[in-house]
Amino acid sequence: MPTPESTTRVLLRLRHWARPALPRIALGGLTALGASLLALAVPQVLRVIVNGPLLTAGSQRGVVLGALVVLGLGVLEAFLVWCRRALLLTPGTGVERDMRTDLFRHLLDLPVEFHDRWSGGQLLSRIMSDLGTIRRWTVFGLTMLAVSSATLVVGIGLMLATSWVLGLVYLVGAVPMIWLGFRFREDYKVVARQARDQAGDLATTVEESVHGIRVLKAFGRGDDALDDFVRQADDLRTTEVHKARTLSRVSFALGAIPEAILAVALGFGVVLTSRGELSVGALVAFFATAAVVNGPVERLGMLLAMTLDAKAATDRYLQVMDTASTVRDPQDPVALPAADPAGSRVELSGVHFVHPRGGSDILAGIDLVLEPGETMALVGLTGSGKTTLLQLVPRLYDVTAGSVRIDGVDVRDLTRADLRSAVSIAFEDPILFSASVRENVLLGTDLTGPAADELVREALDVARAGFAYDLPDGLDTVIGEEGLSLSGGQRQRVALARAIAVRPRVLLLDDPLSALDVTTETAVTLRLRRMLTGTTTLVVAHRPSTVALADRVAVLEDGRITGVGRHEDLLSSHPHYRYVLTALSALDDAQPDELAEVRP
């Protein structure tokens, strides 16, 4: 386990994002400091008034003049407080926006393997509430901490200068307060982090439940989901209560100790004054200064808590930002050779893949060549690694050994932008974004205007997604999570159109037509074959009718390709192929003993 970094070191890393806002934050801090110093000046004026015009000279004019000076100082202090607020109102929002943008950019850059491990709620809570906490601390917590510390130092200095005996008495109170502060820090930093992690888990539960609301309702598991939520919400509440108690204990102590010490100091002060060792003016000034100093002392608990909250939030933010992307662009990228009208050659040699979470080889030495322009079907039992194999081509995952080459170039030697404009993929479970049909189809291209319209028309035509023109707003109809719900088959066809619209050299289809009826699937496959001449296609298929339309079929078995050939040839020569086709299609609903009849 990595050793936790110190609070200062962690918070110092925020300067990277805070730099543009620092001049304004510093100016805000200076005005706050000015206001505090003015507050500290008032007792000194009081001392002069009491010792001079009031007690010695008995001058009414002098007292009025002194009162006017105090009033002037008060007005100036109020003005500086207003300036502080105005200066610190906006800079934090810029810091928050920049940090949020950087985090989102990094999330988009991180490989699929990272997103397999991290829940949406934990990322969401980092990008929303953690950054809010950091913003509040950068503008308010940080400046107030600096100003309060400076006020304390100057104030205690003035108190010592006014009366070193009374000053020392006051300082005795600092000993238990420092000890309490250390204890508070140790307790609070643990619960501060815990509360944030629990809030992230809670967000994950909400996200999963909302996402799977149909399943919960259909299975009548709403109450269970609620129980789960309430339990997590209770855990979070317990932690928040613990946090509040820890803070209120220290806040009480930081309020009570200085007051008690002042009572003792008052006793000493009166004795010193009666003995003539301290002037009345100095006594008044000492206690007026102490009243000013007590404010920052009482605030220290709250400011320390804000700082520890900000530390926990920054830790969580940096935890993601410090995760390096394992799928990166090469230092010296190679360009793909110009596209051959006949298509691209795709070659997998000795490919091994172990899932980053561990376990055994999912792919254990794949050797497979797709000739230019060929359509190859990939067939294997469920869980045999077909999706995994497809995902290695556009580097959604990287091979753990061996290589994937397109036209002779290792995909790891290409920039990801080049690779992904050459390779396109459609998944079985398509994700559509909350945007119009047109925008969804054009997701992978930068085309605009009439050329884009023509591309959309062509892609929808090949994918037999003509239904899109009949939607309420035609191709402008918003679909996806916030829009019109499409059927599974409709979604698959829009996703297929999206994959085609990239005009890729290599098209990967992960059973993208499984929700279609056999006739439509055959029609789409035939159309794909006719239209996509010059595109090398690898399609995961499970219906004999689709497989039969491929030029060749590759059989994936135990992490290896155990047969490559024409459908008819494999059907007669490859028992596992026969078994897989039967198991996956004709006997979809069959019982195990029925499957045994065809098992090789």
Ligand X SMILES: Nc1ncnc2c1ncn2[C@@H]1O[C@H](COP(=O)(O)OP(=O)(O)OP(=O)(O)O)[C@@H](O)[C@H]1O
Residues at the interface with ligand X (CB under 6 A): 116, 355, 357, 362, 380, 382-388
Q: Distance between CA atoms of 115 and 121, rounded to whole angstroms? A: 12
- Residue closer to ligand X by CB (options 269, 512) is 512
C-alpha 472: how far from chain center: 36
- Residue closer to ligand X by CB (options 396, 435) is 396
Q: How far is the CB of 443 from ligand X (least distance, A)?
A: 23
Q: How far is the CB of 509 from ligand X (least distance, A)?
A: 12
Q: Are strands 346-354 and 401-406 parallel, antiparallel or unpaired?
A: antiparallel
Q: How far is the CB of 380 from ligand X (least distance, A)?
A: 5
Specify whether the CB–CB gap between 166 and 285 falls below 8 A: no
Specify whether the CB–CB gap between 389 and 377 falls below 8 A: no
Q: Provide the H-helix boundaries in 112-173.
A: 112-117, 120-125, 131-136, 142-162, 164-172
Q: How far is the CB of 517 from ligand X (least distance, A)?
A: 20
Given the structure tokens 């035939």, which residue do they identify?
526
Residue positions counted in the chain = 600
3-class DSSP state for residue 169? helix
In this structure, what are the phi and psi dihedrals at residue 31, rounded to the nearest 5 degrees?
Answer: -65, -40
- Residue closer to ligand X by CB (options 279, 388) is 388
Specify whether the CB–CB gap between 494 and 486 falls below 8 A: yes
- Residue closer to ligand X by CB (options 163, 384) is 384
Query: Which two tokens mark 221?
Result: 């598991």
- Residue closer to ligand X by CB (options 204, 384) is 384
Q: Are strands 401-406 and 435-436 parallel, antiparallel or unpaired?
A: unpaired
Let me know the angle formed at the C-alpha of 458 by 453 and 461, rounded to the nearest 5 degrees: 125
Specify whether the CB–CB gap between 377 and 554 falls below 8 A: yes
Partners of 557 in beta bridges: 560
- Which element (helix H / strand E) includes 527? helix 518-531
* Sequence-distant (≥ 6) Cβ neighbours of residue 62 within 8 angstroms: 49, 52, 53, 54
- Residue closer to ligand X by CB (options 112, 335) is 112
Specify whether the CB–CB gap between 554 and 378 falls below 8 A: yes
Q: How far is the CB of 379 from ligand X (least distance, A)?
A: 10
Q: How far is the CB of 378 from ligand X (least distance, A)?
A: 9
- Residue closer to ligand X by CB (options 139, 362) is 362
Q: How far is the CB of 362 from ligand X (least distance, A)?
A: 4
Strand positions, DSSP E, 6-148: none
Q: How far is the CB of 321 from ligand X (least distance, A)?
A: 23
Query: Which two tokens mark 125?
Result: 């809570």
Rg of the chain over Cα atoms, rounded to whole angstroms, equals 36
- Residue closer to ligand X by CB (options 118, 229) is 118
Q: Distance between CA atoms of 359 and 371, rounded to whole angstroms? A: 32
Specify whether the CB–CB gap between 367 and 561 falls below 8 A: yes
Q: How far is the CB of 381 from ligand X (least distance, A)?
A: 7
Residue 88: Cβ-neighbour burial (10 angstroms; 0-12, 13-18, 19+): buried
- Residue closer to ligand X by CB (options 358, 592) is 358
- Residue closer to ligand X by CB (options 10, 538) is 538
What percent of the residues of the chain are helix, what percent strand, and what percent coil, each to the nearest 5? 65, 10, 25
C-alpha 266: how far from chain center: 54
Q: How far is the CB of 385 from ligand X (least distance, A)?
A: 4
Q: Distance between CA atoms of 50 and 285, rounded to whole angstroms? A: 9
- Residue closer to ligand X by CB (options 123, 305) is 123
- Residue closer to ligand X by CB (options 373, 512) is 512
Q: How far is the CB of 544 from ligand X (least distance, A)?
A: 16
Q: How far is the CB of 223 from ligand X (least distance, A)?
A: 30
- Residue closer to ligand X by CB (options 387, 536) is 387
Q: In what order do the strands lie in the sheet with 506-510?
A: 423-426, 506-510, 536-540, 375-380, 552-557, 560-565
Nearest to 379 by CA among 574, 140, 244: 574
Query: Which two tokens mark 563?
Result: 């047969």
- Residue closer to ligand X by CB (options 155, 380) is 380
Q: How far is the CB of 387 from ligand X (least distance, A)?
A: 3
Q: How far is the CB of 355 from ligand X (least distance, A)?
A: 4
